[in-house]
Amino acid sequence: MSKVKILLAEDDPNLGFVIKDNLIDKGYDVIHCVNGLDAERAIFKDKFDIYLLDVMMPKKDGFTLAKEIRDKKDDTPIIFITAREMQEDKLKGFTVGGDDYITKPFNFDELIMRMEAILKRSKPLAPEIKEFNMGAFTLKVDELKLLHGDKITAITKKEAALLEYLAKHINQPVRREDMLVKIWKDDSYFAGRSMDVYITKLRKYLKDDPNIEIQNVHGVGFKLAVKEA
């Protein structure tokens, strides 16, 4: 899945560095510009998922830049970052096409929450990953196939769902109850016995690779243990 790409326009180099560094730590891809003109060049050269624009910038202020962005029919979300708290400034920000407004000094977690709320509304959800590499095996969930070199094993929907759940938590213990509720929609004794049968089948499928094993975790459930070859 590709990273969310952010254009950050902030003329204070120290604050800009802190914001960029924190965003990168959260897994975002960030381009930082220190004035409005450089930000304009970056925006019209590349594609971004969201713009974080300081209002008071040299060469071109954030409001002017936002208006130019909207004039070019670019509907990428815009959050203004500013020290200006006057109501008329906030209203102007929305008038020129801003989606949100955060005032300095701000809590970084609040910025993240505002960004993510806007991105959820504006960006379609990325498709869930339905292919997993596990040691020498590849699980193709939607195709109900388990690949090992040239060997293709057809598996059932239940087997695929169970192995998918384990593959999403490689080398991590997973609770029996969570697996039963997620896949069987039932955590009764009989559902548990059924799951044990499927676990046995999956172990047979995976036995050709000594570096992968579905382990019992006492008092918890199971773990798909994968060693590096």
**CATH number of the CATH domain containing 193:** 1.10.10.10
Closest CA to 202 of 148, 129, 128, 142: 148
pLDDT at 128: 64
Q: What was the pLDDT predicted at 26?
A: 87
Stated pTM of the model: 0.53
Read off the amino acid at residue 142. Answer: D
Which among 108, 127, 106 is positioned nearest to 24, based on CA atoms?
108
> Residue 18: which CATH number?
3.40.50.2300
Task: Decide if 55 contacts 82 (C-beta within 8 A).
Answer: yes
- Give yes or no: residues 103 and 174 share one domain: no
Ranges of the chain with pLDDT below 50? 1
> Is the domain of 113 the same as that of 141?
no
Domain count, the chain: 2
Identify whether residues 108 and 199 lie together within a single domain: no
Helix, strand and coil percent figures for the chain, each rounded to 5 = 40, 25, 35
Q: Quick check: 148 and 208 in contact, CB under 8 A?
A: yes
Residue 199 belongs to what domain range? 131-226
Long-range contacts of 119-128 (CB under 8 A, 24+ apart): 119/4, 119/49, 119/50, 119/77, 122/75, 122/76, 122/77, 123/4, 123/49, 126/1, 126/2
For residue 92, the model assigns a pLDDT of: 79
* Same domain flag for 84 and 143: no
| 186/137 same-domain check | yes
On whether both 74 and 162 belong to a single domain, the answer is no
- The whole-number pLDDT of residue 13 equals 87
Residues 52 and 85 in one domain: yes
pLDDT for res 1:
44
Coil/strand/helix, residue 218: coil
Indicate if 16 and 111 belong to the same structural domain: yes
Residue 51 and residue 14 share a domain = yes
Q: Are residues 80 and 148 in the same domain?
A: no
Where among 100, 122, 144 does a domain terminate?
122
- Shared domain for 149 and 53, answered yes or no, is no
Q: What is the predicted pLDDT for the residue at 229?
A: 59
Same domain, 93 and 198: no
